[in-house]
Amino acid sequence: MAIATTNSAGAPAPIEERLDLAIRSGLLDGLHAVLVRRKGETLLERCLGGLDEAWGRPLGHVAFDARTLHDLRSVTKSVTSLLYGIALERGMVADPASPLLEAFPQYADLRADPRRAGWRIEHALNMTLGTEWNEDLPYSDPRNSEIGMERSGDRYRFILDRPLVEEPGERWIYNGGATALIGYLIERGTGLDLASFARECLFDPLGISRFEWAAGSDGVLSAASGLRLSAPDLLRIGELMLARGVWNGRSVVPAEWIARCLEPQATTSFGLGYSHQWYLSAQPLQGHEPRTTRMISAMGNGGQRLFVLPDYEASAVTFSGCYNRPDQWVNPTLLLQRLILPSLAAYG
């Protein structure tokens, strides 16, 4: 599969032309939206139509535009991380080096386990708790750990009581439950639910006025996958990362927290760096000599992506409706490697 990167004259093809060709060729099945900005200039903004859903609830065919809310799925995790950084600066939550289970006095039996007693908040932030957790199964399968958490009578005991398969800090294991713990710490420390705290300290400062945040049957908002935003509003999060947390001259997210997110703390099972709910990578660039560029990203089920490319002062969003499909990675990967990066490289 390829998207042509030059036109008939051998010159770099415009980004709009590449996208049109890819869509006509059927390479981007299920694509809902793509948005790319560099140095404050919009290079590409395209919204399409297609079948969609909201946290598993079918919505039918949706005609997307710049105001349409879309599931972020696990991109939500990266936003939750920013909320923790804000709460930390305000003294509302503990430092990541603090013992995790001090915030869960209701589970005295778990605190008595010496291995679990060694957990620190940073182990949850970096998904290195070392517990058994499986989200490789479809999210319609009750054996999927996140579904098991949602259906349990006590989600936090469910998360904290998983069998230990590694020493804490030794290995990255994808774990939406770890993010749920971070959400709990934020709500416990701020006295607000995630949506209210996000509105006050992150969304309002960024000018994001419309969003939704899904909750489980117990009424707890999903810190791992429940957020819905429009593509332009998600891109604001990317631009905030580029600006080290500053928006319109105001510090919204502490620069120190952004710096933490840029320092790899673990390596994922598929080779990317990971830090505080964000993915870190060196993306290859086309050309005669091997080159790479830094990328910070947030990724969600179905093809949802936020790409932040500091070397180009650029960020990009992709939305797709390929939920739970084995090929859900195709749209964002093709868009990044064959459309977004070549177009940015053409600017120098």
- What is the spatial distance between Cα 24 and Cα 245, in angstroms, rounded to a whole number? 39
Confidence check: pLDDT of 232 > 50: yes
Structure confidence at residue 139 (pLDDT): 84
Confidence check: pLDDT of 87 > 60: yes
Count of other CB atoms within 10 angstroms of residue 244 = 16
The mean pLDDT value of the chain amounts to 94
More confident residue, 6 or 202: 202
Fold category of 15-68+230-347 in CATH: Beta-lactamase (3.40.710)
Asked if residue 16 lies in contact with residue 44, where contact means CB atoms within 8 angstroms, the answer is: yes
Alpha helices, DSSP H, located in 8-92 = 15-24, 75-89
- DSSP secondary structure, 282-315, as one string: EEEE-SSS-EEEEEEEEEETTTEEEEEEGGGTEE
Confidence check: pLDDT of 192 > 60: yes
Sign of the four-CA dihedral 167, 74, 299, 57: positive
